[in-house]
Amino acid sequence: MMLSGRFYLNGATLMTTATGRQLEVARQAGFSGIEARAERLVGDAGELGAAAALVRPGEVWSLNGVRLGLKPAGAAELDTLEADMPPRLAICRALGAPYLLAVPARVPGLDARRGLPGTRQGLARARDLAAAAGVRVAFEFLGFPDCPIRTPRLAGEVVSDVDGVDLILDVAHWHASGGPPLEGFPVDRLAGR
């Protein structure tokens, strides 16, 4: 991930590696820091404490993340989201991460038109909860076939009605989505530009 001339190692690259070790690897390889992974840190106070003791200011750009769950018909799973947010926001604060990345649900068979309203509703709720904790939210689409929000255009549609949320353009997910043209993608909403 590149932000304003700074490069951050995506924690998914080293998913099975402890967060503190990811920080060390990023430093040794010349990265500015990392995008930490919630899967590694939620519920593991030992790993979080070790990473918090090692991290330098500005070294963790974001925590990836929180899932904007949808029910099979497309309604937002707000109860799950509200339960998932507090531990993730605590991790952001502990590591000094200014961003929490929100990703869309993976719901096989749910088309984008039915998934857009619930995704927007979940994203707005995540934004409000995060803002109260001094953390920003960035939305990252997933290019997987079972994800209703799987293209840059759809990601732009999601955030078009949700002020105060930035976008992430992950080239791996862009490629997985078929690499459609980026025309119409709101680059002015990119996080960290």
Supply the DSSP string of 135-159, one letter for each residue: -EEEEE----TT-SS-SHHHHHHHH
Element (H, E) at 2: strand 2-3
Q: Where does the pLDDT of residue 141 fall: very low under 50, low under 70, confident under 90, or very high at 90 and above? A: confident
Over residues 154-166, mean pLDDT:
93
Q: Where does the pLDDT of residue 138 fall: very low under 50, low under 70, confident under 90, or very high at 90 and above? A: very high
Using DSSP bridges, classify how beta strands 2-3 and 6-10 pair: parallel, antiparallel or unpaired.
antiparallel
Task: Report residue 7: phi and psi, to 5°.
Answer: -115, 130
Give tens-digit pLDDT for 74-89: 999 999 999 999 999 9
Q: Kindly list the domain boundaries of the chain, sorted by start residue.
A: 2-189
Q: Give domain 2-189's CATH number out of 3.40.30.10, 3.20.20.150, 3.30.1490.20, 3.30.300.30.
A: 3.20.20.150
